[in-house]
Amino acid sequence: MKKHVETSLSHIAKFAPFAEQTGASHFPIYNTGTFDLKKQDASSEDGKIYDYTRSDNPTREMLENLFTEVEGGAGCVCTHTGIASVALLFETVLKANSHILVEADCYGGTFRLLKVFKEKYNVTVHFANFLEFDAMEEILKNNPIDLVLCESPTNPGLKIIDLKKVADLTHKYDSLFAVDNSLATFISQRPLELGADFSLFSTTKYISGHGAVVAGAIVAKTKELSDEIHYYANAGGRSQNPMDVYLITLGIPTLKVRMKEHEKNSIIIAKYLEEQDYIVKVSHPSLESHPQHELAKEQMDYIPGLFCVDFNSVELAEQFIENTKIFGEKCSFGSPDSRVEIPAKISHASFSKEELAAIGIADSTVRFSIGLENVEDLIEDIEQAVK
């Protein structure tokens, strides 16, 4: 019987190996480096043998089983950071002299990692606006693209990419398609169901929900691709440790409830800011002013609580951040506390001014991540900070 995602998240212990032996409501932490092979039964139903935690660990396997089911994939690897899942994707798919096509509005850490692969492995990186399908097709038609990668919503520009159309176009030219699903999460959209070959995400953010750990995951659509990511994860030591897996699971059962609250609060704040005369633009997919508003409603069940605002001057943007009392000036998003940052200074500092301008981000752009506080307190904090 196929269950809704939130039902699976509420019963995570059932994904743990040996769960049926104890009936535990949560799962044990196998915080060990090695396992005694003589104590294990190779003739068991799945024939699973554990020898070394880098290769396999029952605690991590539980979370990988869960992510595989809720994403609708064939296998998953949990990684020690979010960017490690992107690195694992590149290590699995790319080789020396490969070509990759990437949405120009991408996470700053991904942008920096692409520079590393370009410099060390002569990987050719093609950037494009994934809303312009003709331009994308020209690149795919004229270059041996191994991998196409995007986020949706994009960070920080908040564009909504039509994942089904991009998947169809990518596969027309026999390339692989990967989606960074960190912002939407699988509670809102499932890229593999829309045609992607990989769905990867930072579990640091909404999925864990508490901001106490850094971690990531990558889910493959087919067993062949799953076997490959497992091989390279083991070879490169990308796998997540059991204690961090446990910390991630503490927030998972409440993901849907939290995403609804993040969405509700962020819409209230975005609408409030849209009415202020010191604001030039608010980029929030829930607003009718957003150019992909209808696609956002169609493709996602919930809109994340992250959005960008252009103040009418750099000075006011900086003053606002300096004077806030509740909003912290912090990178990342998806935690209970609301936070603000100027992307050009923090999360996307690896971009040049020209590269940021190309994706619509200015020095006066402030990125908001709305948390779970009372919105009246947040609005009062905005008002006093601006004054």
pLDDT at residue 199 is higher than 90:
yes
pLDDT value at position 39? 85
pLDDT in tens, 99-116: 999 999 999 999 999 999
Judge contact between 44 and 75, C-beta under 8 A.
Answer: no
Q: Which residue has the tokens 């995951």?
A: 217
Both 32 and 162 in one domain: the answer is: yes
The 75-79 sheet, strands edge to edge: 75-79, 216-220, 198-202, 176-180, 145-151, 99-103, 124-128
Q: Name 125's bridge partners.
A: 100
- Kindly state the average pLDDT of the residues 227-232: 97
CATH number reported for the structural domain that contains residue 231 in this entry: 3.40.640.10
Strand partners, 306: 369
Q: Do 205 and 344 belong to one domain? A: no
Q: How confident is the model at residue 45 (pLDDT cuts 50, 70, 90)?
A: low
Asked if residue 274 and residue 208 are part of one domain, the reply reads no
CB 329 within 8 A of CB 316: no
Q: State what percent of residues in the chain have pLDDT above 70.
A: 97
Q: Element (H or E) spanning 197, and its range?
A: none
Per the CB < 8 A criterion, the answer to whether 333 and 202 are in contact is: no
Give yes or no for a contact between 317 and 342, defined as CB atoms under 8 angstroms apart: yes
Single residue among 253, 273, 306 that ends a domain in this structure: 253
Domain identity same for 261 and 249: no
pLDDT-derived band at 27 (thresholds 50, 70, 90) equals confident
Check residue 40 and give its pLDDT: 84
Phi/psi at 76 (5° precision): -145, 150
Residues 155 and 294 in one domain: no
Confidence of residue 18 (pLDDT cuts 50, 70, 90): low
Q: What is the mean pLDDT of the chain?
A: 93
Domain count, the chain: 2
| Domain limits for position 364 | 255-386
Instruction: Find where tokens 């750990």 sit.
Output: 213
Task: Write down the pLDDT at residue 248.
Answer: 95
Q: How far is CA 259 from the centre of its chain?
A: 14
Which amino acid, 45?
E
What is the pLDDT confidence band of residue 249, given thresholds at 50, 70 and 90? very high
Query: Each residue of 313-357: pLDDT tens digit?
Result: 999 999 999 999 999 999 899 999 999 999 888 778 777 888 888
pLDDT at 381: 98
Tokens 């908001």 belong to residue: 368
Same domain assignment for residues 263 and 225: no
Statement to judge: residues 177 and 68 lie in one domain: yes
Report DSSP state, residue 34. Answer: B
Angle value at C-alpha 344, between 215 and 104, nearest 5 degrees: 70
| Residue among 306, 308, 213 nearest 251 (CA) | 213
320, 382 Cβ separation under 8 angstroms: yes
Residue 177 and residue 215 share a domain: yes
Coil, strand or helix at 100: strand
**Which of 253, 279, 295 is the C-terminal boundary of a domain?**
253
Per-residue pLDDT of 54-87, as tens digits, reads 999 999 999 999 999 999 999 999 999 999 999 9
Report pLDDT for 186.
Answer: 97
Q: Does one domain contain both 213 and 263?
A: no
Tell me the β-bridge partners of 179.
Answer: 150, 199
Task: Tell me: do 283 and 214 sit in the same domain.
Answer: no
Where is the domain boundary, 253, 278, 306?
Answer: 253
**Which CATH number does the domain housing residue 345 bear?**
3.90.1150.10
308 φ/ψ sector (left φ>0, alpha ψ -120 to 50, else beta): beta
**Is there a single domain that holds both residue 224 and residue 267?**
no
- Report which of residues 50 and 150 the model is more confident about: 150
Judge whether residue 1 has pLDDT over 70: no
Assess whether 78 and 216 both reside in one domain.
yes
Each residue of 266-321: pLDDT tens digit? 999 999 999 999 999 999 999 999 999 999 999 999 999 999 999 999 999 999 99
How much is the pLDDT for 361? Answer: 84
DSSP output for 22-77? H--SS------SB--GGGS-TTSSS-----BTTT--HHHHHHHHHHHHHHT-SEEE
State how far the alpha carbon of 53 is from the alpha carbons of 27, 77, 87, 365, in Å: 17, 13, 20, 43
Region 366-385: mean pLDDT is: 97
